[in-house]
Amino acid sequence: MEIERHQYDVVVIGAGGAGLRAAIEARQQGKKTAIVCKSLFGKAHTVMAEGGAAAAMGNVNPGDSWKVHFRDTMRGGKFLNNWRMAELHAQEAPDRVWELEAWGALFDRTKDGKISQRNFGGHEYPRLAHVGDRTGLEMIRTLQQRVVALQQEDFAVHGDYEAYIKVFAECTITRLLKDGDAIAGAFGYRRETGQLLAFDTPAVVLATGGIGKSYVVTSNSWEYTGDGHALALLAGAKLINMEFIQFHPTGMVWPPSVRGILVTESVRGDGGVLRNAEGKRFMFDYIPEVFKHQYATTEEEGDRWYTDQANNRRPPELLPRDEVARAINSEVKAGRGSPQGGVFLDVSTRLPAEEIRRRLPSMHHQFKELADVDITAEPMQVGPTCHYIMGGVEVEADTGAASVPGLFAAGEVSGGMHGSNRLGGNSLSDLLVFGRRAGAGAAGYIDSLDRRPTASAESVAEAKAEALAPLQRAGENPYEVHHELQRTMNELVGIIRKADEITEALEAVQKLKERAAGVGAAGSRIYNPGWHLSLDLRNMLLVSECVARAALTRQESRGGHTRDDYPAMSPAWRRKLLVCGASPDGSAVTVEEKAQPSMRGDLISLFERTELSKYLTEEELTEYDKAVEESR
C-alpha cells in the first residue's frame, strides 16, 4: 500500500485545547497548518473538563491580579514550577479567556454582565471562568468553531475550506521524522482505514495530553497513552518532572466499571464533606504543618466558612488535592473505608436538593445514571484516581520549543508550568496561553529557516515497518499486556511509593516490554482496536519507565510524589529537576539531575520570607534578602 503524503508548514498533533489554540495561531500567522488527532474533531479529552479555567480577571473580587494568581500557582506546585511559565500564564490567561468570548463562547455571568468566576482549591479569590460543570465542552466547541470560522474565511478567498487549515481526525502519529537534528515530518496511520500517512513539515507541535491509561483507576480516556511524551523522547527531546502525577482525591469507586471517573472538586467547593466509615470528618486529622494557619481546626469553624469567609478559615476538605488524596488513601488502608473501598462524600446534608441539581447538574446525572445514587439524598462513595501528569516535554517558556529544533509542545504533554502539583482550573488556562505561544513559536521558527528539512526514505520505511509489525505477528493478546501494566503502575508506583516497590515495578515493566514486542493483532487494518493498542503499548511502557525511574531517584515527598521512605519535603531537592532521556529505539531510559534556575528578583519578592523559609535552602534565602533589598 502507498503511503499517503502531505506537505504542511506546521503539523499540530492533538485537537484538545492546546492543539486547537496552537493551530489557530499558526494559521493566523499565515502558516499552512494540519491538525492531527486520534478521535473525531471535538472529542478530545478537554471536552471532559468540568470546573473551569483560572484567569485573574477580578470580575468577582477586584482584589485579584496576575501577581496573586502567580503566587497561588507557585504554592500549589510547592515552588518547583518553571516560574517564567507561571508568570506568563498568570499574566496572559485573562486575555485568552476574553478572546474565547469574542469567538462565541458563552460563560456564566456575574450580575453586572461580566464573566462569572468560582472558588476552587488553592486559589485565593474566585477565579475560575466556567459554564455550569461543563467548561471543557464550551472551550473545545468554541475553539473548534473558531477553526471552522478560519476555514470559512479561506473558502471565501481560495474556494477551498482546507486551503490553510485541515483536520486529520482519527489519525494516530507513531513517529516523528528527522533530518539530522531537526524535525522533518511525522508518520502515522488512519484509524478508519489503516492507510499509512506521512507529513513533510519543518515544525511539529505536540499537544497530545496525558498518560493516565497506564493506571487501572483513572479519570482519563483511552487516548491518554502518553504518545506525545514518547514521541518526544524517541526524537531526542527531554522530559522533566515525570515523577509528579496528580491523583485526584475524588473519583467514583462503584460500580467497578466506572471506577476512577471524576467527581468534580466543585462538590467540596460547594460544601461537600468527607467522612469515614465511623462517620468521622477525618480531614481535620490531616492538616499538614505548612497549612496549619489557613485551615479550620473545628467542624464548627469550617461550617461557618461557607457563609462567612472573612472571619473563618476554610474547612480541610479544601486542602490541595495531593493532601486530600493521601488522607483518603490512609483512611481506607487503616480499615475505615466505605463498603465499596472509598470514603463518603456528602453534599446532601449541606444543600437543598434543588440547589444541588442547579449547581452540580452533571454530577447529579452521573451518579443517578451510573450508580443509582441520588446525591441530593445520600452520600457518594469516592476514592483517589489518576488524573493528571505534571511532568512532560521540557520546553522554553516563551515559545514552547523543545530541545530538538522544530519540535514544540503545549498543554498537559509539556512539563514545568505546574511544578509538583497542579491547581484545579490551571490546566484549561495553560492550554490557551501556551497553545498560542507554541503556535507562534512554530511560525517564528519556520520564518528563520533557510531550507526545509527533508525526512530520509529509510526513516519512513522504518516507521512503516514498525507500524505494521503487530499485524504480521500471531502473538499474545495486547489487552493482557496492557492490563498487567495498569495493575503494576497502580499498585507499585501509585499515590504512596517505596524504593523496593518501585524497583519491582521497573523489573515488571522490563518484562512487559519484552512481551509487548511479541503481541499480535488479528484482523484487518480497517478500524482495528487490537492493532491500535499494540502500537500504543510502546508509548505507555516507555512513559511508565520514566515515571518509575524518576520516582525512584527523587528521595523526598512533594506534591504528586509521595515516598513512604522519605516522607519529608527537602529544600535541597527543590533545587533539582529530574530530566529523562531515551535512545531512539527506546531501550535505554536515563534520568539526570539538573539545577532549577533561581527565581527572578522581582518575582521572588512577591513572597514573604517566612513562607519561603519552608521551601528554600539557606543559600537561596540569602539571595532572597538581596533581591528584596534591591527592589526597595
Partner 1 sequence: MTYKAKFRVWRGEGGEGKLEDFTVEVNEGEVVLDIIHRLQATQAPDLAVRWNCKAGKCGSCSVEINGRPRLGCMTRMSTFTEDEVITVTPMRTFPVIKDLVCDVSYNYEKAREIPSFTPPADVKPGEYRMKQIDVERSQEFRKCIECFMCNNVCHVIRDHEENKPAFAGPRFLMRIAELDMHPYDVADRQDSAQDDHGLGYCNITKCCTEVCPEHIKITDNALIPMKERVVDRRYDPLVWLGNKIFKRSDSKTT
Ligand X SMILES: Cc1cc2nc3c(=O)[nH]c(=O)nc-3n(C[C@H](O)[C@H](O)[C@H](O)COP(=O)(O)OP(=O)(O)OC[C@H]3O[C@@H](n4cnc5c(N)ncnc54)[C@H](O)[C@@H]3O)c2cc1C
Which residues belong to the active site? Answer: 248, 268
CA distances from 601 to 281, 397, 597, 626 (A): 42, 18, 12, 8
Rule CB under 8 A: is residue 195 a binding residue for partner 1? no
Burial class (CB in 10 A: 0-12, 13-18, 19+), 257: exposed
Alpha helix segments (H runs only) across 224-265:
227-234
Out of 26, 131, 397, 578, point to the residue binding partner 1 (CB under 8 A).
131
Q: Which is nearer to ligand X, 90 or 552 (CB)?
A: 90
Decide which of partner 1, ligand X, none touches 16; Cβ closer than 5 to 8 Å per partner kind. ligand X
State the nearest-atom distance from the C-beta of 360 to ligand X, in Å.
13
Residue 90, amino acid: A
What residues form DSSP beta bridges with 199?
Answer: 6, 186
Decide which of ligand X, partner 1, none touches 424; Cβ closer than 5 to 8 Å per partner kind. ligand X
CA distances from 577 to 14, 59, 223, 602 (A): 27, 36, 27, 23
8 Å CB contact between 554 and 573? yes
State the nearest-atom distance from the C-beta of 109 to partner 1, in Å.
4
Query: Which spans of this chain sit near ligand X (rule: CB under 6 A)?
Result: 13-19, 36-39, 44-46, 48-53, 135-136, 172-173, 207-209, 219-220, 223, 227-228, 262, 388, 411-413, 424-428, 431
Handedness of CA 491, 493, 496, 500 (dihedral sign): positive
Out of 28, 29, 39, 403, point to the residue binding partner 1 (CB under 8 A).
39
State the nearest-atom distance from the C-beta of 479 to partner 1, in Å.
4
The grid coordinates of residue 87 equal 508568570
Decide which of partner 1, ligand X, none touches 30; Cβ closer than 5 to 8 Å per partner kind. none
Q: Which is nearer to partner 1, 149 or 572 (CB)?
A: 149
Number of Cβ within a 10 Å radius of residue 549: 21
Rule CB under 8 A: is residue 145 a binding residue for partner 1? yes
Number of Cβ within a 10 Å radius of residue 57: 20
Q: Which is nearer to ligand X, 252 or 577 (CB)?
A: 252
The DSSP-derived string for 73-102 is HHHHTTT-S-HHHHHHHHHHHHHHHHHHHH
Task: Please give the Cα distance from 39 to 252 (Å, whole number).
Answer: 25
Q: Which is nearer to ligand X, 53 or 283 (CB)?
A: 53
Decide which of partner 1, ligand X, none touches 222; Cβ closer than 5 to 8 Å per partner kind. partner 1
Burial class (CB in 10 A: 0-12, 13-18, 19+), 195: middle
Site string for partner 1, 423-462 (x = CB under 8 A): ----------------------------------------
Rule CB under 8 A: is residue 99 a binding residue for partner 1? yes
Q: Which is nearer to ligand X, 266 or 329 (CB)?
A: 266
Q: Which is nearer to partner 1, 28 or 145 (CB)?
A: 145
Alpha carbon of residue 194 to chain centroid: 29
Q: Which is nearer to partner 1, 109 or 333 (CB)?
A: 109
Residues in CB range of 562: below 8 A, 6 or more apart: 322, 326, 495, 496, 497
Alpha helix segments (H runs only) across 12-82:
17-28, 66-76
Out of 55, 196, 242, 371, point to the residue binding partner 1 (CB under 8 A).
371
Rule CB under 8 A: is residue 622 a binding residue for partner 1? no
Rule CB under 8 A: is residue 223 a binding residue for partner 1? yes
Q: Which is nearer to partner 1, 265 or 556 (CB)?
A: 265
Site string for partner 1, 229-268 (x = CB under 8 A): -------------------------xxxxx--xx------
CA distances from 543 to 220, 227, 265, 329, 600 (A): 15, 9, 27, 24, 32
Q: Which residue from 316, 265, 356, 207 is spatially nearest to 52, judged by alpha carbons? A: 265
Q: Which residue from 568, 68, 496 is spatially nearest to 288, judged by alpha carbons? A: 568
State the nearest-atom distance from the C-beta of 467 to partner 1, in Å.
16
State the nearest-atom distance from the C-beta of 140 to partner 1, in Å.
9
Which of the residues 485 through 514 are near partner 1 (CB under 8 A)? none
* Residues near partner 1 (CB under 8 A): 39-43, 45, 47-48, 94-95, 98-99, 101-104, 106, 108-109, 112-114, 116, 131, 134, 137-138, 141, 145-146, 148-149, 151-152, 161, 192, 221-223, 254-258, 261-262, 362, 365-366, 369-371, 477-479, 521-524, 526-531
